Structure 1
């Protein structure tokens, strides 16, 4: 798959990011496919934001690998992610730090920062460092939007509401507190275009009366 081909070649001639994603696919397929879809959204959103080639590649890599730390989280927790998030600080909440450790040998500092700071909040109430507003790395702010949107609209996602309109409503609810409001509106503008999400099970377009 093309987004996986963005992996860096390892010193031994292999592709460590490909191998890591394949391990995630075998361990927890739902998380794997969520990462794939999030990276595809990132590729499309990068074009809409007119990011340059390097920035686009790094954003896609960041979103592809944002949950790679879940390789070391027990599947019983991953299967009930909403139940455990916030109540098991020693488990699910540590996956970004695990991901950074796994990726450190092969990824640059910008991608590592996106993985580390994916759970920061626009209002400063997030983890791990309580960064606020634009002090949060841009890739992390984008990844947070795409992560929530995919989890909301996809069957079997974190929220299981399964509608684009519901996903848009949730993003707007979180804009300005958890999410970057400007990026949220840019993303919503993108997904409202006919055919924008015609990939990997997303509906073709929003209905005219969706908001």
Structure 2
């Protein structure tokens, strides 16, 4: 029986791993050296976006007004279940101490990291679920500050993604994607809080930047 695909990815030109590594490395070096302006410049050049880097309360409100009630219900449905699972998962990991020999103690503690960076694809393959799975889980874990970023287009960020990020508890939302988004979170640009962990899917450039 022949396989019928409901959806196929559009094939794009491939470059070698070495070329990808070189491009990403050059971008990271420039962004680390030149900071926020370099990240914004890449956003303008690659995404055609000239707006704010930190998503404002006004943009968040506008996004909520744009998203349909059905989609809001769907996002809430997923959020509730991801949160419930994360809470059960956290509860299954216990802190303990044990005395291995007289005076020699060992154990484990659950210590949330200070800042997590959550990358959410917002380009050709926008993925709202990534916002829910990463941000909601980090919130349950007790992460102190959650930074989320997503690639905008020339008109701005995807409203559904912004709505989901905000509902799940992101403390800072950046309208930056690709390598520049990963770099902004890793170097603590716009927040002063470098991410101690970076999560979320992306293309080969995003994957290399995270590595």
The alignment's TM-score, normalised by the length of structure 2, stands at 0.25
Q: Highest CA radius of gyration, 1 or 2?
A: 2
The alignment's TM-score, normalised by the length of structure 1, stands at 0.25
Which fold has the larger relative contact order, with Cα–Cα distance below 8 Å and residues 6 or more apart in sequence? 2
Greater share of strand: 2
Greater share of helix: 1
